[in-house]
Amino acid sequence: MEDNVMKVVDSAHGGKGWVERGMYHQSDIGLIWSNCGVFSETDELKHVLLHRPGQEIENIRDHNEVLWTEILDSKRAREQHDNMAEIYKQNNVIVDYIDAEDLSNNYPNLYFCRDLFTMTPQGAIISRLASKVRAGEELLAAKKMMQLDIPIIATAHGDMYLEGPDVVIVNQDLVFIGIGIRTNIQAAYFVEKLLKIQGFSEIIFIQTTYGCGHLDGVFNLINAKHAAIVPKRASYEIYSNLKRHGFSILDLNNKQEVDEGMSINFVPLNSETILINSLPREAIKSYESLGIECIQVDVSELMKGGGSVHCMTGVLRRKKH
């Protein structure tokens, strides 16, 4: 008798009352999760993640052991970092911080926030930093993402090394991933799969040259029309594919400005404006000749750590055009 009774499926298992979510994760951004995401490195900058150098930069005895080029003057470094953050705020960019004074004493490079993650349209890919001295910084970035309600779509793992500046999102049809000392081929394949799920159609691997840390030391996007390249470091693939996508190329041939002035290490704020350190005078004139406003900031003390404005800025959101 019991076998002939119709069994009712409850709502939790697909019966009456079950309503399928029916939305892609992208639709949850700004609704369930915080507004975040990068569709292109040239879209208008809206939100960044920084770390103001704390006690971790004090009492460094050997700059080589912490990957710096010189010992930093901590007071001056903090003042310069504050000035950079203030410029972002003055340009309507939200600034959040990794405040990890209790945990960051072992992380003198933590202020290079760009390295810690890669922001995609649907959330962050957390890095796995390649150098032993920086192992663990990615945990602090992941904790901050969760505090900000920003989705972590993946974390580099296994035998992967992955660092944010090796991933350059040009547009929905073109992404470059650098392979070298900081990001290995295993991580490149992983990121490629994640980006293809999000609809990016062409992802090109670029082998970085010996002596070059990240792909952002090879080229940078000024806006959606212009790109700056260091010719001696760049492969033909970068040139040809950027030109195919309509970019004009500005060659940075002044080796001293590239190496010491970090002339390629800038951050686009919008299509007409970049934030750049004040040292590379020749490059700044070249950018201005393209109609670009160059907001200059003195970060010379911070640059002794081996990076400039671009390296210090973790991008959480750019407004899609």
161 within domain boundaries: yes
CATH number at residue 209: 3.75.10.10
Q: Which residues contact 94 (CB under 8 A, 6 or more apart)?
A: 46, 47, 48, 316, 317
Q: What is the DSSP string of 22-49?
A: ---HHHHBTTTBPS-B-S-TTSEEEEEE
Q: Compute CA distances 32 → 93, 107, 141, 238, whole Å.
A: 22, 32, 20, 37
Query: What total of structural domains would you count in the chain?
Result: 1
For residue 144, the one-letter residue type is: K
Residue 17 falls inside a structural domain: no
Q: Does any domain span residue 146? A: yes
Q: Residue 162 has what DSSP assignment?
A: B
Per-residue pLDDT of the chain (321 residues; tens, 9 = 90+): 455 556 689 999 989 999 998 778 999 999 999 999 999 999 999 999 999 999 999 989 999 999 999 999 999 999 999 999 999 999 999 999 998 665 556 899 999 999 999 999 999 999 999 999 999 999 999 999 999 999 999 999 999 999 999 999 999 999 999 999 999 999 999 999 999 999 999 999 999 988 888 999 999 999 999 999 999 899 999 999 999 999 999 999 999 999 999 999 999 999 999 999 999 999 999 999 999 999 999 999 999 999 999 999 999 999 987
Strand blocks (E) in 83-218: 94-97, 117-120, 123-126, 152-155, 167-171, 174-179, 203-207
According to DSSP, the residues that pair with 120 across neighbouring strands are 123
Determine the Cα–Cα distance for residues 9 and 263; give it in Å rounded to an integer: 65
**Amino acid at the residue 30:** G
CB atoms within 10 A of CB 60: 16
Residue 26 in any domain: the answer is no
Confidence at residue 273, expressed as pLDDT on a 0 to 100 scale: 98
CA distances from 206 to 6, 177, 178, 183, 273 (A): 62, 6, 5, 11, 27
pLDDT the model gives residue 232: 87
Alpha carbon of 219 to those of 170, 222, 263, 306, 317: distances in Å?
11, 10, 10, 17, 21
> In sequence order, what E strands does the chain have?
44-50, 94-97, 117-120, 123-126, 152-155, 167-171, 174-179, 203-207, 219-221, 226-229, 248-251, 267-270, 273-277, 293-297, 314-319
Q: Would residue 308 count as lying in a domain?
A: yes
Q: Is residue 171 part of a domain?
A: yes
- pTM recorded for the entire structure: 0.94
Task: Tokens for 56, please give them.
Answer: 């971790």
> Looking at the domain assignment, is residue 19 inside a domain?
no
CA distance 214 to 167: 9
CB atoms within 10 A of CB 260: 14
Question: For residue 235, what are the domain limits?
Answer: 37-319
Query: So what's the pLDDT on residue 321?
Result: 76
Q: What is the pLDDT of residue 102?
A: 56
Residue 233 lies in a domain: yes
- CA 55 to CA 109: how far, in whole Å? 12
